[in-house]
Structure 1
Amino acid sequence: MVDKIGETNTLCPVCMKTIKAEKIAEDDVVYIVKTCPEHGSWKVKIWNGVEHYKYLYEFAAVPKTPEKFAVPQIKDCPHDCGLCNQHMQHSCLNVVEVTNHCNLNCPICFATANGCGYDYHPDMETIRGMFKTVVDYVKSPRCIQLSGGEPTVRDDLPEIVRMAKEMGIEHVEVNTNAVRIAKDIEYLRALKEAGVDDFYMQFDGTKDDIYLQTRGKSLFELKEQAIANCAEVGIGITLVVTVSPNINLDHVGEIIKYAATKVPTVKGVHFQPISYFGRYPVDPENNDRVTIPELAQAIEKQTKGMLKADNFIPTSCSNVYCDMKSLSVVLPDHSLFPLTTMALGPPKKTDDVADKTRGEVSQFWRFIENSMDGEDENRSDDGSWRTFVSRAKTHYLTVSAMAFQDVWTGETDRWERCCIHVVTLDGRLIPFCLFNVTNNEGETLYRKKTFCQ
């Protein structure tokens, strides 16, 4: 039985013109179905579990719209984005690309680094202008991610970080493959001293046969050295995993277990189900995709229920079908004590998702603190609530995921609610997925024309 459960606008995977699409439910799977008059039809899997998909509507409410818009009223969303007054979410994270050069040549690369057909390596004044866009259009606290390419190929990256801080950007994260910070600890120290707050580190598994497929070379030993260097310098890391059903979906539990042994240097694991833009190894079929519910179920199974699918909730910012997140305390035996759960029920407002999570955790802490009174003070610290609370301040782990949209899966409804934006040279903020989207021939909608001015 096939049920129509929604409508949206999307892109043709060939010409990238805006076309209409339907969302249908069939055999407990949600698909987006679309037809281009010139190039044919597509039926693409976007979610597993129809009732769960419908239930998440309860999370959706009025978002926080941007206070300022960089472009006037547009004619054809998503072709003249920037952000416009149709955009329905403020900016939480701004991606500033500082190069398209890279010291790897990965088979999987959203930016097609080292092979995009143009050279992009802006000077300091150009980067200053991009930071000014963030300062002008984003309300404090301002968070940026320096990306590329590989940002650490720039010897002047510490100066770039320092400039960002001086201009009023509070949080600076560096997106890196970790090659240089593993090999050059003095460069790492310089980044720390300049003001880098954390690293967003490419990490596809704990076995080199995975890296040979995703990155083209053995890298696990180098990743471990980078983590050790960050521990020595005192800077946190989020491990970022590109998840492919054909390569490492069966390895996600091991990655979480590994991360738990590297806390407190490792602060989180962020899974990104593979999206087909930029450079990728196959022409995607539905069995080449991993949906967020499939990933959550795989995590539950592979961790033997230590982290359950029910422990993941949507965040307060992006569209409810874009991401999931959990927060756990890491116990001395490296097991996880989850603090988030869908069993609490959805909040009634999008803005309340983060507040609800904080509220539940706050209530939990108050319960713990109350339990410290009286008898608890006379107990040994081993196994006490006091020990738990003390450990939880540093030994925690977020496990999250974000399903980026490609030209086959993209929906205008989700682009309009995106809170992760790429800063362009001409002073615009473009949703990350939309900025990186490419058609079936690898042609870009925004990336090349924006960075080839």
Structure 2
Amino acid sequence: MKQKFYQEIESVCPECFGKIKAILKEEDDHKVYIYKTCSKHGEFKDLISSDASYYKWTHYATEDGEFSFDKIGDANPPDRIADERGCPWNCGLCNLHKSTCSLALIDVTNRCNLTCNFCYANVEKSGVLVEPSLEEIRRVMKHFRSKPIPAVAIMFTGGEPTVRKDFPQICKMAKEEGFKEAIVATNGYGFQKPNGEGYKFAKACWDNGLDTLYFQFDGIHDETYMKTRGAKLWKYKQRVLENCRAAGFDSIVFVCTLAKSVTDMEAGNIIQYAIDNIDIVRGIIFQPVSLCGRISYEDLRELRITNADVLHEIEKQTNGALKVDRDWYPLTTIVEFGRLIAWYAGMEPIEFTCHPDCGFATYMVLDPQTKSLRSFLEYIDPLPMIEFANKFWKKVKERKESNFFTKLIGESAGATLDKGLNWFDRQSVKARFLLGVLPYIKKPGKLMELFSKVIMNGNWASISSFSYGSLLIGSMHFQDPFNFNLERAKRCIVHFGVPMPDGSVLETPFCVYNNFTRQETEKKIARKYTAKGKEEWVENVAGPEASTIIRNGGVDKDGKPVE
């Protein structure tokens, strides 16, 4: 990979959002930049990756085409046909989209108890209220589950979703509609309430089907939260974990927005705190800040942090426990492996067929002998194992279910016999696959026994057994107008669903919606946020805590900071 990286792409002008040509180019400082020129607004340059060697490796593909991190998924039928404007302006979804939705998002409210300065969805900033009814939320759920390739997971976003008193009911609806995983993106408001209220809320959500908290977690110091959220929130964050633990809620993912010289120094602290709470914390997602809105080039250069910066910072702050050149792989790496596991278990697969630039992940696992967390990549030889899985999947996906006995003796008795025959066939295929991956296991033992059970059983119980005491760590860099790559948008697997006034559902990729179409869409569905509306919300929706919520600043009704 000595040749310098160069790629021509389509992007947008950060000023007028017009579609323009761009190039990704490696420079002599061993970094990759995006260059683009708008006929009206001039030239633009931004950093894509601070580590050209790692960036080139994540775009690696064998010459014979047998292996690549760049993977195309199966797309659902489009909801509309692209017009002359093309991507991203007629999204909804159009026929240009190349991947199916794996994670559906619904903004259940844009009310929030905080006013984070980089948030894109806040009632106080927009002046309009976006809060769909239960019927509208169910309509969006049905939209995603009725597709030929249905979304497996759903995330409730905002605003702060847990300011809704009916939030546990929304969780229940998700399971009624068939979602395997229900997640809430939250700053912890409903779960942190003192005097037993947070425990009751966590228990109600857990009992009604909520699986995971995607928990805003910027660090372990109040000084950090004052910079990012405008309030001292450390005790607030600790109460969330205490109440969830007491309620038996054992799946929390820390989510940290990383900005250079603001939160990046907390990365090691967050990992250690997750390890200290490994009984209920399942993962950490670092999100390099997206720079939406007008910003000078000097400020852009000062604030920009890339996935590569995050990975190097983690290596430094963990004293090499997680290494850039060993432990981090694009999310697309496990596509075929995941399809195999789902096929074995007869489950719907979660497809990570996004663009390789979208995110990177690694796994830390509890070593049964030393009782310490180690990188999972110490136990396996990953690339050969993945290449084997890719080739194996190509053969498996062509296999047909047997209907031999049905044809021979009829539907009533034959179907049962065919079911048994197909079960036996899957078991034999699984056994051959397990034998095939054994040469790539470097450290046998109890951990590899659990890994083998995931392969052989392929069910949620086996996956949970392997995940318990393990820590998934990822870095996901969402796009902004400066670094926007239209190919990434076309491959997005995280889609918003918006209930429209005409009874339809607008489905839009995450980065497209937040950068280009959110404001216009919300004008069509929002109602004006008036003083009377605030009063009605206090009386009918939010309950006695409303005075601290609607002020949006982490202060109580007397203006004192809320811990």
> TM over 0.5, yes or no?
yes
> CA 1:125–1:412 in 2, change beyond 3 Å: closer, same or farther?
same
State the 1:139 CA deviation.
2.5
CA distance in 1, matches of 2:150, 2:118: 34
Q: Contact 2:218–2:257 (CA<8 Å) still a contact in 1? A: yes
Q: What residue is the counterpart of 2:235 in the other structure?
A: 221
Q: What residue is the counterpart of 1:386 in the other structure?
A: none
> CA 1:432–1:141 in 2, change beyond 3 Å: closer, same or farther?
closer
Alignment counterpart, residue 70 of structure 1, candidates 69, 72, 79: 79
> CA 1:334–1:100 in 2, change beyond 3 Å: closer, same or farther?
farther
Could you tell which deviates more after superposition, 321-330 or 132-141? 132-141
SS of residue paired to 1:367 = coil
Aligned ranges 1:19-38 → 2 under 5 Å = 19-26=20-27, 27-38=29-40
Q: Between the two proteins, what is the percent identity of the paired residues?
A: 31
Alignment counterpart, residue 254 of structure 1, candidates 259, 269, 278: 269
State the 1:452 CA deviation.
2.5
Q: Specify every segment of 5 or more residues in structure 1 that has no aligned partner in the other structure, as ranges.
A: 373-388, 438-444
> CA 1:46–1:349 in 2, change beyond 3 Å: closer, same or farther?
farther
State the 1:61 CA deviation.
3.8
Q: What residue is the counterpart of 2:428 in the other structure?
A: none
SS of residue paired to 2:49 = strand
Q: What residue is the counterpart of 1:442 in the other structure?
A: none
Residue 491 (structure 2) pairs with residue 412 (structure 1): no
Aligned ranges 1:141-156 → 2 under 5 Å = 142-156=152-166
Q: Contact 1:241–1:272 (CA<8 Å) still a contact in 2? A: yes
Which digits, 9 at most, give the CA deviation of each residue in 1:10-37, with x for residues without a partner? 1111111111111111121111111111
Alignment counterpart, residue 48 of structure 2, candidates 41, 46, 49: 46
Aligned ranges 1:318-397 → 2 under 5 Å = 318-330=354-366, 335-340=372-377, 344-345=382-383, 352=390, 364=441, 367-368=444-445, 394-397=468-471
Q: What residue is the counterpart of 2:178 in the other structure?
A: 168
Q: What residue is the counterpart of 1:110 in the other structure?
A: 120
State the 1:284 CA deviation.
4.1
Letter in 2 for 1:56: T
State the 1:354 CA deviation.
13
Q: Contact 2:111–2:122 (CA<8 Å) still a contact in 1? A: no
> CA 1:24–1:130 in 2, change beyond 3 Å: closer, same or farther?
same
SS of residue paired to 1:424 = strand
Q: Taking structure 2 as the reference length, what is the TM-score of the superposition?
A: 0.70
Q: Contact 1:89–1:417 (CA<8 Å) still a contact in 2? A: yes
Q: What residue is the counterpart of 2:327 in the other structure?
A: 311
CA distance in 1, matches of 2:477, 2:224: 20
Residue 216 (structure 2) pairs with residue 202 (structure 1): yes
CA distance in 2, matches of 1:96, 1:414: 21
Alignment counterpart, residue 448 of structure 1, candidates 498, 504, 519: 519
Q: What residue is the counterpart of 1:376 in the other structure?
A: none
CA distance in 2, matches of 1:202, 1:6: 35
Q: Specify every segment of 5 or more residues in structure 2 that has no aligned partner in the other structure, as ranges.
A: 62-67, 333-351, 394-433, 450-462, 525-563
State the 1:179 CA deviation.
2.1
CA distance in 2, matches of 1:3, 1:176: 41
Which digits, 9 at most, give the CA deviation of each residue in 1:289-311, with x for residues without a partner? 11111111110111001122221
Q: Contact 1:143–1:169 (CA<8 Å) still a contact in 2? A: yes
State the 1:93 CA deviation.
0.5
CA distance in 2, matches of 1:207, 1:29: 32
Q: Contact 1:109–1:280 (CA<8 Å) still a contact in 2? A: no
> CA 1:279–1:165 in 2, change beyond 3 Å: closer, same or farther?
farther
Alignment counterpart, residue 436 of structure 1, candidates 510, 514, 518: 514
Which digits, 9 at most, give the CA deviation of each residue in 1:325-367, with x for residues without a partner? 1111135887421113797338888994998xx9869964993
> CA 1:354–1:221 in 2, change beyond 3 Å: closer, same or farther?
farther
CA distance in 2, matches of 1:154, 1:18: 39
> CA 1:369–1:158 in 2, change beyond 3 Å: closer, same or farther?
closer
Could you tell which deviates more after superposition, 30-39 or 345-354? 345-354
Letter in 2 for 1:367: P
Q: Contact 1:330–1:392 (CA<8 Å) still a contact in 2? A: no
Q: What residue is the counterpart of 1:191 in the other structure?
A: 205
CA distance in 2, matches of 1:281, 1:206: 31
SS of residue paired to 2:329 = coil
Which digits, 9 at most, give the CA deviation of each residue in 1:393-444, with x for residues without a partner? 521111111010001111011111111111122423211111111xxxxxxx
Q: Contact 2:365–2:374 (CA<8 Å) still a contact in 1? A: yes
Q: Taking structure 1 as the reference length, what is the TM-score of the superposition?
A: 0.86
State the 1:117 CA deviation.
2.9
Q: Contact 1:212–1:218 (CA<8 Å) still a contact in 2? A: yes
> CA 1:202–1:450 in 2, change beyond 3 Å: closer, same or farther?
same
CA distance in 1, matches of 2:48, 2:387: 24
Letter in 2 for 1:68: P
Which digits, 9 at most, give the CA deviation of each residue in 1:197-221, with x for residues without a partner? 1110000000010000100001111
CA distance in 2, matches of 1:213, 1:63: 40
Higher helix share: 2
State the 1:246 CA deviation.
2.0
Alignment counterpart, residue 137 of structure 2, candidates 108, 124, 127: 127
CA distance in 1, matches of 2:55, 2:147: 33
Letter in 1 for 2:50: N
Q: Contact 1:99–1:150 (CA<8 Å) still a contact in 2? A: yes
State the 1:40 CA deviation.
1.6
State the 1:112 CA deviation.
4.0
Kindly report the root-mean-square deviation, in angstroms, between the aligned alpha carbons of the 2 structures.
3.3
Q: How many residues align?
A: 429
CA distance in 2, matches of 1:242, 1:272: 5
CA distance in 2, matches of 1:369, 1:133: 42
